[in-house]
Amino acid sequence: MKYKVEIYEDEELGELMIDVPEEISTVVHLVLSDIQEDGSELWLDRVNKVLSRESSYEEVTGNACTMEVKYDLTKIVLEFPTEGAPDHCFIETEELKKIFMLWDEAIEKKYGESN
């Protein structure tokens, strides 16, 4: 993996958290606000459609972010950025897929197959 990604359980909240490098910090908003602990199925499906070349472009808008998927690069736009914070980032589509898969593995580990 190109990026250092850390997924861990917040001991006080009992929820999964994710840390990524600053240059892709919008990924944190996407994962924690839109994907949450339900899993990335919808989001990963759109990424896979583009990576398999079934589609040349996919877009998904959640509560906090919009993900614009192209084959090489995906743009994640934070819909309501705080002043001075980045409002978007670009990440290699294949790397984003890896992050989604890591997130889903963490959910599986925490909840088992019931989630």
Please list the pLDDT of the chain residue by residue as tens digits (115 residues).
999 999 999 999 889 999 999 999 999 999 999 999 889 999 999 999 999 999 999 999 999 999 999 999 999 999 988 888 889 999 999 999 999 999 999 999 998 854 4
Kindly report the backbone phi and psi dihedral angles of residue 22, in degrees, each rounded to the nearest multiple of 5, phi listed first: -55, -35
- 5, two tokens: 């990604």
The angle at the Cα of 52, spanning 109 to 111, to the nearest 5 degrees, equals: 10
pTM over 0.75: yes
Closest to 67 (Cα-Cα) out of 56, 59, 55, 78: 59
Distance of alpha carbon 76 from alpha carbon 100, whole angstroms: 13
The angle at the Cα of 33, spanning 57 to 90, to the nearest 5 degrees, equals: 40
DSSP-derived pairing of the beta strands 73-78 and 58-61: unpaired
Residue 68 has a pLDDT of 98
Residue 28 has a pLDDT of 96
Residue 113 has a pLDDT of 59
